[in-house]
Amino acid sequence: MVVLDGRKTSNEIKEEIAKEVSEIVESGKRSPHLAAVLVGDDGASLTYVNSKVKSCEKIGFKSTLIKLPADVAESELLDRIEELNQDDELDGFIVQLPLPEHINEQNVINAVSPDKDVDGFHPTNVGKMVLNLPTFLPATPKGIMELLNRYNVDISGKNVVVMGRSHIVGSPISILMARKTTPGNATVTLTHSRTKNMKEFTKNADVIVIALGIAEYLTGDMVKDGVVVIDVGITRVADSSKKSGFKLLGDVNFEEVSKKASFITPVPGGVGPMTIASLLMNTLQAYKERK
């Protein structure tokens, strides 16, 4: 069994980007610039955004964090997004999700310029992804594909089961894995909350990508020997023995499933770091296209 170490792989990617950024700056050009918009004070979102900012600093990107109150009007948020769209010194930006209930997330996603949409959520970029045209791929699915590529995990012709159909992970990863690329060329089944007899699908899967947000949902009796497991889920569970007061669990019962798996991602330290690395890769791509 091989643990797909997202933290190690992410650091390797950051080192590669840092070297390229150093060469850019030494040539007299400005460094790539990424901005993040955070609405409200959700703890998990704040932690995630801060990690993005730190990653930018580490590799030589310029980073900007825009914090807005939880009760900010949707119109004001859209105005700020338009300012970022028009900023010639900014290459890409993200609006951290989820947003407060009074704000329509799709309106916000649609407002981001496709050319600066380094999260890969804008309908224009999603459409290009479906048509296999050059575009910004959603960060988490892109990170998963990069991790499989760097560990030489062959999914061609394999039976892949994706658990969860979100626009952020499940739906796009099912498209990417089926595309005529390397890694890719898999036969993909997309399952979800209405899927009956889930175990019948997972027991026959060569590869499982699970993004349900249900702690330790996938157990050892649901998979076959040699399965490749990508765990996207992360849930905070109270744990008084931890200094933080909680522990992080994935959607996979790691202890049970790892005994059968050929490759598996840990939580934390698997897909999460790769998502940030992919965001940085997309930002560098945006910088090059703008130049």
* Residues with catalytic roles: 52, 96, 119
**Residue among 92, 96, 28, 23 at smallest CA distance from 60:** 23
Burial class (CB in 10 A: 0-12, 13-18, 19+), 62: middle
